[in-house]
Amino acid sequence: MPYFTTATDKTKLHFIDYGPADGPTLVFVNSAYFGTEMWEFQMLPLAAEGYRCIGLDRRGHGKSEDVWGGFDLDTLADDLGSLLDHLDLRDVTLIGHSLGSNEAVRYLTRHGSGRVARLALVAGMAPGIVRGDDNPEGLPAEAIAAANETFRRDRAEFFATGGDAYFALGLPGNDVSAAYVQKVIQDCHGATARAATALVANLETLEMAPEVRKIDIPTLVIHGDQDASAPIDLTGRRAAALIADSTFKLYENGGHGLYVTHAERLNADLREFSGR
């Protein structure tokens, strides 16, 4: 089972590396709570088609080491950088979902685009949902903090009752079985209590518009218009407007879990975007 240690604090992280070593390289950055299993409908078919598909379990997630510290965005971005350095990856298409999009952006603003040729934000949380000068329509930090406290008190309830909204079930095209929803809920518990609560605490202050403006590589922004977790006007549309070289694709009736409900369309868009 492949592992590497981070350059920051020597935390041991698990990663997967599927497909041929010489294929076009796609690096996936997970949402909060999930390990690399979330990308099964992307990594498996794309690797079978000749893409090299790589992802890591964030610290405290999946099969990676459970640690106390390092859930700030700088350290998480540096962990991602340690993986790219460990495998000496070049010409990467970097794909981030939800909070993973913020890690991808922070990686680029901290480490540059020497290894990364393209960025894809899928149902991204970037730039952020908190109210601020760059986001006057955002949510008050106090409201996000209160929601995080509710989450801390009963993560199980939060996960168990969130499946319908996460996948926008009941809307056309969002056909996910009850069994798969339960599987995803269980996957969320792959993050430790410390990792889950420390990670989402970032949302209370996370406003990355100045950083997003600095993105200097082609960027694909994919977002559903029914995304309850990352409201499109605060995140996807705003990210696309801030990035000079961006392409915006709206998935009608799409929720937050586009990588499941719209897997085939997402894969086709990633193929086209990565130049193959």
Cβ-based burial of 34 (10 A; exposed 0-12, middle 13-18, buried ≥19) = buried
Task: Say how many C-beta atoms besides its own lie within 10 A of residue 241's C-beta.
Answer: 14
CA 88 to chain centre: 22
3-state SS assignment for residue 103 = helix
Residue numbers of the chain with a pLDDT score lower than 70: 1, 276
pLDDT at 1: 64
Edge to edge, the sheet with strand 92-98 lists 3-5, 12-18, 52-56, 25-29, 92-98, 116-124, 219-224, 246-251
Residue 225's nearest CA partner among 267, 263, 255 is 255
Q: Residues with catalytic annotation? A: 98, 227, 256
- pTM here is 0.97
User: Beta-strand (E) ranges in the chain?
Assistant: 3-5, 12-18, 25-29, 52-56, 92-98, 116-124, 219-224, 246-251
Residues whose CB is less than 8 angstroms from the CB of residue 82 and which lie 6 or more positions away in sequence, other chains included: 4, 5, 6, 7, 8, 13
Instruction: Give pLDDT tens digits for 100-133.
Output: 999 999 999 999 999 999 999 999 999 999 999 9
Q: What is the pLDDT of residue 174?
A: 97
pLDDT for position 29: 98
Helix axes 73-86, 99-111, angle to 10 degrees: 70
What pLDDT sits at residue 275?
A: 85
The whole-angstrom separation of Cα 236 and Cα 275 is 22
Structural contact between residues 99 and 127, judged by C-beta atoms closer than 8 angstroms: no
In terms of Cβ atoms closer than 10 Å to its own Cβ (0-12, 13-18, 19+), residue 208 is buried
